[in-house]
């Protein structure tokens, strides 16, 4: 992935992409393109459970607990990354109101870093809003009922910036990448019925499928 050049100008308000796009892109570039380029969507048990978890979180309302203000469904954006979205929960600690993002996920901690990138992007948004460094956040997983602490170190910040650049470039090209079939990942994807990765992973089959779509 290519990093954003130093001193690159901020991105205009009309050109912001959804914050969730970074998670989609890092998980699977084809999934990202189906959602954000082709505007396709389908729901399965996993996405429905995730949506219900977020709905319950959003309905909780703001509160203060042990001196920590808890704000829910917080609108955020970053003109440097070119993203806009909503943070599930932002905790405001101390008199200086130090922001700490908390993202809710339905499953359990994963081997890939897509969830961490999404959380780091929220931290960068909060840094631009509050003007203070955000060094740590948390991922709360519904399956384990536990928080996982995430440190926003230089490596994760670089990865987040790189993903933002690549996601924006793919969106600008308007091209959907070919599938790369991974049984575990594809089996849990709600778009597998639209993507057909197990059939399209072979080059000749892609040509036949495209020809059928044109004739339809």
Q: Are residues 43 and 71 in the same domain?
A: yes
Q: Is residue 7 part of a domain?
A: no
Q: Is residue 21 part of a domain?
A: yes
Q: Are residues 24 and 120 in the same domain?
A: yes
Q: Are residues 167 and 197 in the same domain?
A: no
Q: What is the pLDDT along the chain (216 residues), one digit of tens a residue?
A: 444 444 456 777 878 999 999 999 998 888 888 888 888 866 544 444 445 555 555 565 678 888 899 999 999 999 999 999 999 999 999 876 899 999 998 777 877 899 999 999 999 999 999 999 999 999 999 878 889 999 999 999 999 999 999 999 999 999 888 887 787 777 777 777 777 776 655 555 555 545 555 554
What pLDDT score was predicted for residue 3? Answer: 45
Q: Are residues 172 and 185 in the same domain?
A: no
Helix (H, G, I), strand (E, B) or coil at 8: coil
Q: Is residue 32 part of a domain?
A: yes
Q: Are residues 57 and 78 in the same domain?
A: yes
Q: Are residues 17 and 86 in the same domain?
A: yes
CB 26 within 8 A of CB 86: no
Q: Are residues 107 and 214 in the same domain?
A: no
Q: Is residue 1 part of a domain?
A: no
CB 142 within 8 A of CB 107: yes
Which residues span the domain enclosing 213? 180-216
* Overall number of domains in the chain: 2
Work out the number of other CB atoms within 10 angstroms of the CB of residue 109: 13
Q: Are residues 46 and 111 in the same domain?
A: yes
Is this prediction's pTM over 0.75? yes
Q: Are residues 163 and 208 in the same domain?
A: no
What pLDDT score was predicted for residue 215? Answer: 57
What pLDDT score was predicted for residue 133? Answer: 95
């Amino acid at each position: 992935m290519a990093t954003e050049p130093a001193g690159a100008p901020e991105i205009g308000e009309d050109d912001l992409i959804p914050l969730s796009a970074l998670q989609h892109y890092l998980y699977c570039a084809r999934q990202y393109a189906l959602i954000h380029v082709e505007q396709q969507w389908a729901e399965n048990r996993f996405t429905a459970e995730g949506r219900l978890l977020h709905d319950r979180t959003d309905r909780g309302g703001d509160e203060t607990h042990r001196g920590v203000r808890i704000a829910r469904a917080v609108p955020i954006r970053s003109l440097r990354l070119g993203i806009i979205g909503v943070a599930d929960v932002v905790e405001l600690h101390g008199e200086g109101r130090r922001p700490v993002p908390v993202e809710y996920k339905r499953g359990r901690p994963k081997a890939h870093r897509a969830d961490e990138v999404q959380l780091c992007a929220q931290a960068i948004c909060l840094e631009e809003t509050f003007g203070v460094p955000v060094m740590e956040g948390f991922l709360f997983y519904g399956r384990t009922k536990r928080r996982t602490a995430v440190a926003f170190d230089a490596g994760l910040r670089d990865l987040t910036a790189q993903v933002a650049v690549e996601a924006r470039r793919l969106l600008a090209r308007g091209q959907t990448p070919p599938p790369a079939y991974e049984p575990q990942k594809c089996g849990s994807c709600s778009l597998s019925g639209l993507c057909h990765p197990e059939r399209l992973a072979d080059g000749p089959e892609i040509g036949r499928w495209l020809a059928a779509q044109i004739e339809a």
